[in-house]
């Protein structure tokens, strides 16, 4: 990063340089007053033209784009945690009532008939699974096959598992167990009733 980029980054994250015309009271109230996040987060969002309606549809890719500077990583994680607990966000997945022995767990908002099992925190979303399937040739093959046959044979199950693993390898991301469990759940719902809910937790292991 050259000196000019550093100056621009510092400028964007400094609240005192927000143009009066860019001020957004609704966003300020949510970020600063309600969520008690740092003013720099509000400034960065303003600098990228983010309003409350836009905030509701932010996904992981958008968060990475907005908080692309390494020194903003903490801001990104702080905002993500709030979005994960905000019912209006596409990232919402936190339970309204968490028992004492489940303080580190979150529940995934379900579609009709989804599992009630608690999962460890993960950033995996429906939109991420769809994006992976759409961008990968094997993912496209799996989708077309399922649309035609309403089921997956052993070969296409392996294609599906490898498509997701390939995504992690290509992006140099560690495939954590919570992510694997979440993908298994999403797959069981996306390709239902092909994959039994009872066996979904072992799906990615068994097809690699």
Q: Count of CB atoms within 10 A of residue 94's CB? A: 20
What token pair was written down for 30?
């949510």
Instruction: Identify the CA nearest to 78 among candidates 126, 49, 42.
Output: 42
Note whether 87 and 12 are same-domain residues: yes
Note whether 13 and 88 are same-domain residues: yes
What token pair was written down for 187?
């797959």
Instruction: Identify the CA nearest to 190 among candidates 182, 37, 3.
Output: 182
- Establish if 110 belongs to a structural domain: no
Q: How far is residue 19 CA from its own chain's centroid? A: 31
Does residue 43 surpass a pLDDT of 60?
yes
What token pair was written down for 140?
């496209």
Q: What contacts 28, CB < 8 A, 6 or more positions away? A: 42
102-111, 124-133, 189-198: least confidently modelled range: 102-111
Note whether 7 and 88 are same-domain residues: yes
- Establish if 40 belongs to a structural domain: yes
Q: Count of CB atoms within 10 A of residue 105's CB? A: 16
Which residues span the domain enclosing 195?
A: 126-206
From CA 8, how far away is CA 136, in angstroms rounded?
Answer: 35
Cα dihedral 85→128→57→114 (10° resolution): -50
Number of domains present in the structure of the chain:
2
Cα dihedral 176→178→184→187 (10° resolution): -90
Hey, which of 4-18, 83-97, 115-129, 190-204 has the most confident mean pLDDT? 83-97
Instruction: Give 186's pLDDT tier (boundaries 50, 70, 90).
Output: confident
More confident call, 173 vs 44: 44
Would you tell me the crossing angle of helices 154-170 and 137-149 to the nearest 10 degrees? Answer: 150
**Domain edge (last residue) among 92, 113, 139:** 92
């Amino acid at each position: 990063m050259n000196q000019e980029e550093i100056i621009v980054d510092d400028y964007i994250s400094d609240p005192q340089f927000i143009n009066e015309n860019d001020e957004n009271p609704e966003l300020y109230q949510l970020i600063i007053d309600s969520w008690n996040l740092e003013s720099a987060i509000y400034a960065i969002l303003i600098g990228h033209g983010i309003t409350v309606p836009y905030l509701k549809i932010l996904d992981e890719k958008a968060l990475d784009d907005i908080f692309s500077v390494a020194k903003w990583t903490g801001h990104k994680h702080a905002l993500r945690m709030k979005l994960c607990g905000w019912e209006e966000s596409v990232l919402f997945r936190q339970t309204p009532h968490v028992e004492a022995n489940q303080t580190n767990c979150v529940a995934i908002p379900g579609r009709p008939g989804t599992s009630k099992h608690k999962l460890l925190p993960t950033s995996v979303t429906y939109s991420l699974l769809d994006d992976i399937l759409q961008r990968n040739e094997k993912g496209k093959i799996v989708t077309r096959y399922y649309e035609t046959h309403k089921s997956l044979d052993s070969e296409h199950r392996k294609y599906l598992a490898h498509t997701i693993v390939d995504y992690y390898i290509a992006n140099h991301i560690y495939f954590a167990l919570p992510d694997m469990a979440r993908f298994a759940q999403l797959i069981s719902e996306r390709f239902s009733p092909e994959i039994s809910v009872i066996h979904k937790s072992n799906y990615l292991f068994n097809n690699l």
